[in-house]
């Protein structure tokens, strides 16, 4: 019987600060647990190591000594010379068995420990002489990597630097990301990932993920087999057509699945079981097609039945190759997004983050905001600017919540207004697609509200007097001073979410929104913004970031072995996220927790999703008192596993 690994075995500072409200160290996955099938969580306070916050920029983290003090130098041998540090891998955990060694092992990002290979590992894997003499702890490596990244002053260069680390050493990449989540999440994810997608063909270094093109039709199953990994559990796939608020980015859209999966693993999902996929079906972006460095399939986009046939072949191949995998659809054009979600959600466990993740995150923020405004959800009036996939996803989640709370008929219709370039969606006034029709107001309701045939956002706000204004239109400056002031004149504490990504596409900045409302607005954004000081009070900008939702939804679905990602599971995620907003957060003016608490929030959401899947008959029958342990056992930690050399198999398999 093996013992649970002690955090001190990893010679590292803990992955995140202790949970607020006095939670014990280790309660939310702060222990160091090896990956690749070995899962354990140290008991609270194991090893006597006190949790510590991620190290501020410019400060060097230092290893904790066994007595809790900070060690200032390496231990010494009897002759006064520094001894090798303790192994950078936890003891008592099953080893990963490898046949490869030498330079090939140093080029394998899933198993490369670089300077942290022990003396014994160096000898066993033919690494002697291929590395400098010193044996480092992971903490030392993380410090070195961090210092290298922050020397770069441009965000895109930091993104490139972190990607290079990712390509060399996955454990170390995730350790650095986890230790500096608030600082580096905007670099590996939005907003910087948007620039990386735009510049993809000009900054390309190393392939990551799988590109499937129309040239692969008829043999997509074979192409999936080139991954050379059988236990893929999580796939994020895009066709690159609606990348953030930037539109068609062709093959460069691969940055989104890679970035999303980095968030998943930073939150606790084993990266060796994930796969980013780009359905590179061409591009209608003329600038890309004219670029001789463009790396994608250089043709106009596949449409219609050929497109649907390619996606269907892909899904069929995924089900055959990776029968336990969860599929996340990402950044598809609205029509395709809804069509694929409905077509495949019962074929394999899958969800669309732009639709369901965005909706759950916004519902959570609205729910938390009621604790400040005093206006119950049942009495909310929403104006959602942007009638695409995200806007409709929000409308669906909120309408469902209001309906469950007892709202019906015209009151339910009036509670949500979707706005496009012509104003509020109204039956018979503008062309509506199938996804928009359920949210269009009857003409009589629009007439009763005094809404003319064509009108701008300010007219809609004055007529509807919304308690919440949600922006997902991708139009910077859409929330103007007259619009916001009109809203604030009717509502003491207006809730305003400017959610379009990246930062350059936000409908307004938090500083503008707070200035126009005399500091009374409850503001959230999709990308990170700095705190704002108004009237001597510093207000933290909350992030209505899908990163709070999709890792917990995915982790919970995997633990539950869910057959389907249901609307109820998305509701459970929203409710759990709202419950993680503390009084401290609300006092700071935020209706979301800090992004640095992603791992804790992910665990709580996963637990709620497991229970909902069980209760709906869609997942394993895990008893309530075992749910927390099941989730904890599935959480991956970026800590090197022990390695064991095995003989290379002969060509005949013997």
Domain assignment present for residue 244? The answer is yes
What pLDDT is recorded for position 13? 33
What's the pLDDT tens digit per position in 451-487? Answer: 998 999 999 999 999 999 999 998 999 999 999 999 9
Confidence category of residue 648, pLDDT binned at 50, 70, 90: confident
Domain assignment present for residue 98? The answer is no
User: Among residues 348, 373, 396, which one ends one of the domains?
Assistant: 348
**Average of pLDDT values for 18-22?**
36
What pLDDT is recorded for position 503? 87
What pLDDT is recorded for position 28? 38
What are φ and ψ of residue 95, in 5° steps?
-80, 155
Where do the H-state alpha helices sit in 415-456?
Answer: 443-448
Compute the distance between CA of residue 260 and CA of residue 253 in angstroms, rounded to an integer: 12
User: Among residues 300, 322, 348, which one ends one of the domains?
Assistant: 348
When divided into structural domains, the chain yields a total of: 3
Closest CA to 632 of 609, 654, 602, 652: 602
Residues 312 and 376 in one domain: no
Tokens for 545? Answer: 């970031």
Task: Name the DSSP class of 364.
Answer: H
3-state SS class at 242 = coil
User: Among residues 329, 348, 367, which one ends one of the domains?
Assistant: 348
Compute the distance between CA of residue 345 and CA of residue 165 in angstroms, rounded to an integer: 35
Task: Name the DSSP class of 520.
Answer: -
What are φ and ψ of residue 643, in 5° steps?
-120, 145
- 166 Cβ neighbours under 8 A, 6+ residues apart: 109, 173, 208, 262
What's the pLDDT tens digit per position in 223-262? Answer: 999 998 889 999 999 999 998 888 999 999 999 999 999 9
Closest CA to 584 of 596, 592, 575: 592
Judge whether residue 650 has pLDDT over 80.
Answer: no
Judge whether residue 643 has pLDDT over 60.
Answer: yes
Judge whether residue 392 has pLDDT over 90.
Answer: yes
List residues bridging with 424 in a β-sheet: 419
Element (H, E) at 423: strand 423-424
Confidence category of residue 70, pLDDT binned at 50, 70, 90: very low
Residues 282 and 417 in one domain: no
Domain assignment present for residue 261? The answer is yes
Domain assignment present for residue 521? The answer is yes
Residues 495 and 383 in one domain: yes
Of 2-6, 40-44, 205-209, 639-643, the poorest mean pLDDT is in: 40-44
Compute the distance between CA of residue 291 and CA of residue 294 in angstroms, rounded to an integer: 5
Domain assignment present for residue 320? The answer is yes
- Inter-residue contact 484 to 516 (CB < 8 Å): yes
Cis peptide before 573 (omega within 30 of 0): no
What pLDDT is recorded for position 192? 95
Q: Which range marks the domain in which residue 394 is found?
A: 356-531
- Inter-residue contact 283 to 211 (CB < 8 Å): no
For residue 182, CA distances in Å to 179, 526, 555, 599 come to 9, 14, 21, 12
What pLDDT is recorded for position 59? 36
What's the pLDDT tens digit per position in 510-540? Answer: 999 999 999 999 999 998 999 999 989 999 9
3-state SS class at 533 = strand
Could you tell me which residue, 5 or 104, shows the higher pLDDT? 104
Compute the distance between CA of residue 104 and CA of residue 90 in angstroms, rounded to an integer: 24
Residues 366 and 282 in one domain: no
Residues 438 and 501 in one domain: yes
- Inter-residue contact 470 to 384 (CB < 8 Å): yes
Of 126-130, 189-193, 601-605, the poorest mean pLDDT is in: 189-193
Of 48-62, 67-81, 217-231, 515-529, the poorest mean pLDDT is in: 48-62
List residues bridging with 277 in a β-sheet: 210, 237
What pLDDT is recorded for position 90? 57
Residues 510 and 379 in one domain: yes
Compute the distance between CA of residue 297 and CA of residue 335 in angstroms, rounded to an integer: 22
Residues 376 and 460 in one domain: yes
Residues 320 and 401 in one domain: no
Domain assignment present for residue 171? The answer is no
CATH number of the domain where residue 436 is located:
3.40.50.720
Catalytically active residues are: 189, 260
Residues 321 and 201 in one domain: yes
Element (H, E) at 274: strand 274-279
CATH number of the domain where residue 197 is located:
3.40.50.10380
Judge whether residue 412 has pLDDT over 80.
Answer: yes
Average pLDDT of the chain, as a whole number: 87
What pLDDT is recorded for position 84? 72
Domain assignment present for residue 156? The answer is no
Residues 193 and 239 in one domain: yes
Compute the distance between CA of residue 579 and CA of residue 79 in angstroms, rounded to an integer: 57
Residues 245 and 370 in one domain: no
Q: Where are the beta strands (DSSP E) in 442-531?
A: 468-471, 495-498, 522-525
Closest CA to 645 of 25, 8, 124: 124
Residues 525 and 586 in one domain: no
**Average of pLDDT values for 92-121?**
92
Domain assignment present for residue 473? The answer is yes
């Amino acid at each position: 019987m093996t013992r649970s690994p002690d955090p001190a075995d990893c010679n590292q500072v803990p992955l995140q600060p202790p949970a607020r409200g006095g939670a014990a160290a280790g309660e939310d996955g702060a222990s160091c647990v090896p990956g690749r099938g070995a899962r354990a969580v140290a008991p609270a306070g194991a090893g006597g190591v006190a949790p510590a916050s991620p190290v501020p920029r410019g400060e060097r983290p230092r290893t904790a000594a066994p007595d809790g003090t900070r060690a200032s130098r390496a231990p010494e041998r009897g002759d006064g010379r520094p001894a090798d540090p303790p192994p950078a891998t936890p003891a008592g955990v099953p080893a990963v068995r490898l046949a490869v060694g030498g330079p090939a092992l140093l080029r394998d990002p899933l198993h490369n420990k670089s300077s942290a290979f022990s003396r014994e590992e160096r000898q066993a894997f033919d690494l002697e002489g291929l590395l400098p003499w010193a044996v480092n702890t992971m903490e030392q490596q993380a410090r070195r990597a961090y210092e290298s990244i922050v020397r770069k002053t441009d965000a895109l260069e930091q993104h490139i630097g972190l990607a290079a680390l990712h390509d060399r050493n996955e454990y170390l990449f995730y350790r650095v990301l986890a230790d500096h989540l608030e600082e580096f999440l905007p670099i590996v994810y939005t907003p910087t990932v948007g620039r990386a997608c735009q510049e993809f063909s000009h900054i390309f270094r190393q392939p990551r993920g799988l590109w499937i093109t129309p040239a692969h039709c008829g043999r997509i199953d074979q192409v999936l087999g080139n991954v050379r990994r059988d236990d893929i559990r999580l796939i994020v796939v895009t066709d690159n057509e609606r990348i953030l608020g930037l539109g068609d980015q062709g093959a460069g859209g691969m940055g989104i699945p890679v970035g999303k999966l980095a968030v998943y693993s930073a939150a606790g999902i084993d990266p060796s079981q994930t796969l980013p996929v780009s359905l590179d079906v061409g591009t209608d972006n003329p600038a890309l097609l004219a670029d001789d460095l463009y790396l994608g399939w250089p043709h106009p986009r596949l449409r219609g039945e050929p497109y649907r046939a390619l996606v269907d072949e892909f899904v069929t191949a995924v089900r055959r190759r990776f029968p336990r995998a969860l599929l996340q659809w990402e950044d598809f054009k609205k029509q395709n997004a809804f069509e694929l979600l409905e077509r495949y959600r019962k074929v394999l466990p899958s969800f669309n983050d732009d639709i369901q993740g965005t909706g759950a995150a916004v519902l959570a923020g609205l729910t938390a905001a009621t604790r400040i405004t005093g206006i119950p959800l049942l009495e909310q009036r929403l104006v959602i600017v942007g009638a695409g996939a995200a806007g409709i996803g929000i409308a669906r989640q909120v309408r469902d919540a209001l309906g469950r709370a007892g709202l019906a008929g015209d009151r339910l219709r009036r509670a949500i207004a979707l706005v496009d370039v012509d104003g509020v969606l109204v039956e018979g006034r503008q062309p509506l697609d199938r996804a928009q029709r359920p949210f269009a107001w009857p003409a009589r309701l629009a007439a009763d509200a005094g809404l003319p045939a064509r009108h701008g956002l300010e007219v809609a706000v004055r007529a509807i007097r919304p308690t919440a204004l949600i922006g997902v239109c991708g139009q910077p400056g859409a929330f103007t001073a007259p619009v916001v002031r009109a809203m604030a004149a009717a509502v003491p504490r207006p809730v305003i979410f400017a959610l379009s990504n990246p930062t350059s596409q936000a409908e307004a900045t938090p500083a503008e929104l707070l200035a126009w409302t005399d500091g009374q607005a409850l503001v959230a954004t999709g990308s990170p913004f700095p705190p704002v000081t108004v009237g001597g009070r510093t207000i933290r900008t909350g992030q209505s970031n899908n990163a709070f939702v999709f890792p917990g939804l995915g982790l919970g679905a995997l633990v539950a072995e869910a057959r389907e990602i249901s609307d109820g599971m998305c509701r459970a995620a929203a409710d759990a996220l709202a419950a993680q907003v503390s009084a401290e957060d609300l006092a700071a003016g935020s209706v979301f927790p800090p992004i640095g608490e992603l791992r804790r929030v992910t665990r709580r959401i996963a637990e709620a999703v497991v229970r909902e899947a069980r209760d709906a008959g869609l997942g394993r029958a895990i008893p309530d008192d075992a749910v927390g342990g099941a989730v904890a056992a599935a959480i991956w930690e970026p800590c090197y596993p022990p390695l064991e050399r095995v003989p290379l198999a002969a060509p005949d398999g013997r």
